[in-house]
Amino acid sequence: MIKTNTFQNILILITVFAFFTACNQEEKQQQKYQNQIGDTPYNFNLDTKNFKLCDSLNTLHKRAYVKYKGGNKALKKELVENYKLQSQYKTYNGYFIIRFVVNCKDEAGRYRMEVLDENFNLANAPKELQKHILNLFKTLKNWQHPFYENKHYDGYKFITIKITNGQIQLV
């Protein structure tokens, strides 16, 4: 009788352990794989609360459909004009890839940035420069949300900035 109880307890323990291990693995998998590569959920530490997606379950991952009023020329002009070259950036070379979402009200948010060196390795650009580049994007106000197959969408976009000897260039 005692032996049976001990066996039952061990079985229960194994079941409980297996259950929690499975949950943990599922959680890890959830962290590693997003529903779509590039999905950018709200992050309390990075994002403004006011920015909302119109349909968070159906955000378009087709960057060509997110446009800027006046086209690439206008976007380039605005970025170049607002970029302030500081003397400490003059030797800097590398890339900034800025990703964000434009919602159906043409507001932009959820900015994320990847900083790479000339050989596309992760890089440590000067913090001030990183902040400046990100702010350049946050001040752009003429985004146009995607209109795709006769439907309005929120849409993901990314823009690449190349810095050569401190000079900015839109890729």
Burial 162-171 (b: 16+ CB within 10 A, else e): ebeebebeee
Are 167 and 94 contacting, i.e. CB atoms less than 8 angstroms apart?
Answer: no
Query: Please, what is the minimum distance in Å from the beta carbon of residue 57 to another protein?
Result: 14
Any contact of residue 43 with another protein (CB under 8 A)?
Answer: no
Any contact of residue 138 with another protein (CB under 8 A)?
Answer: no
Any contact of residue 82 with another protein (CB under 8 A)?
Answer: no
Query: Please, what is the minimum distance in Å from the beta carbon of residue 26 to another protein?
Result: 12
Please report how many Cα atoms fall inside a 13 Å half-sphere around the Cα of residue 34, on the Cβ side. Answer: 7
Selected from 59, 156, 163, 168, the binder of another protein by CB under 8 A is 156
Indicate if the alpha-carbon torsion angle 164, 166, 170, 171 is positive or negative. Answer: positive
CA distance 41 to 15: 34
Selected from 57, 71, 124, 150, the binder of another protein by CB under 8 A is 71
Nearer to another protein, 85 or 116 (CB): 116
**Closest listed residue to residue 142, CA positions, set 51, 61, 54, 76:** 76
Segment interacting with another protein (CB under 8 A) among 8-16, 79-87, 138-146, 152-160: 152-160
CA distance 38 to 34: 8
Nearer to another protein, 1 or 122 (CB): 122
Any contact of residue 160 with another protein (CB under 8 A)?
Answer: yes
Residues that bind another protein (CB under 8 A): 33-38, 61, 63, 71-73, 95, 97, 99, 114, 116, 118-122, 156, 158, 160, 162, 169, 171
